[in-house]
Amino acid sequence: MSTQYPGGQVKTSAPAVPDWLSLQGAVAVVTGGGTHLGLAMATALTQLGAEVHLVGRRADVLESAVQTLRQQGASAHAHPADAADEAAMQIVVQRAWQSRQRLDVMVCNAGGGQGREMAPDIKVKDLEATLRNNLTSTLVCAQAGARAMMPARQGAIITVGSIHATLGSDPQLYGPEFKRSSQSYHAAKGAILNLTRALACELAQHGLNVNCISPGQIPKPGIDPITRERFTAQVPLGRLGLPTDLNGAVALFASPAGRWITGQNLIVDGGWSAW
């Protein structure tokens, strides 16, 4: 937006966020919020006006992320906790709610896979650990968030799946140094996707929206060149994803713009799953 002033001067200012997209005054909790996708989604929420509460197991990482957000003018807070621990997450939600007596958004992002073995050598202990990190944490956080949102009959719960919730993966695409998505990870993300649908149906009566974002290949820095090249060749849009590529999806599901959307899975993968 620009304004013309006498003498030919032009002053440019950022356009205001429209009401249907604004999160001004809202409170959001983001698990796994200290790095990568979680931090990117938290940043997007603050840019729409939300106060964010970051959850993670590494206190130093969380504090660094919070300081970065505060330097950008955001209201941000750190809560070191295990997202799969019911008692810990109930405390986190209570503290977040107390700041403004409300909770508007819960992003269930905590996750991660364990194990590298392929079938038929998958370790059951790796499956159990991966399910806890992803599926259990999603249920724990969704329910903790729902309890805080229900009195207001309004709130958005966002789960995080993956293209591997619905697709297998080709072992030939991975370079020797890349930690591939294990079958345990596929199973956990697939379960999150259908858990999202079930939660959406059951929490709709309380006015809550529950939706899933399924990212494609958005690697952390340092991905090996072989895997990068092979992955990129599989993306119709011709590049790998960036954490900020989730901004639109999280804004849609968190804001009033998504009020009539629930039980859905939005794949953000540059077209990977389209061919």
Domain containing residue 176: CATH number: 3.40.50.720
What amino acid positions are annotated as catalytic residues? 185
Within-domain flag for 217: yes
φ/ψ bin of 166: left (φ > 0), alpha (ψ from -120 to 50), beta (otherwise): alpha
Look at residue 16 and tell me if it is in a domain. no
Residue 41 lies in a domain: yes
55 domain residue, yes or no: yes
| Residue type present at position 12 | T
Number of domains in the chain: 1
> What per-residue confidence (pLDDT) applies to 1?
46
> Is 31 within a domain?
yes
Query: Is the residue at 18 inside a domain?
Result: no
pLDDT digit string (tens) for the chain, length 275 residues? 444 444 445 545 556 889 999 999 999 999 999 999 999 999 999 999 999 999 999 999 999 999 999 999 999 999 999 999 999 999 999 999 998 999 999 999 999 888 878 888 889 999 999 999 999 999 999 999 999 999 999 999 999 999 999 998 888 888 776 666 788 999 999 999 999 999 999 999 999 999 999 999 999 888 888 889 999 999 999 999 999 999 999 999 999 999 999 999 999 999 999 98
Q: How many CB atoms lie within 10 A of CB 248?
A: 13
Domain of 233 in residue numbering reads as: 24-274
Buried (b) or exposed (e) across 67-88, using 16+ Cβ within 10 A?
Answer: eebeeeebbbbbbbbbbbeeeb
pTM over 0.85: yes
Judge whether 207 lies within some domain: yes
Q: Torsion angle, CA of 272/193/161/34, rounded to 10 degrees?
A: 160
In a domain, 6, yes or no: no
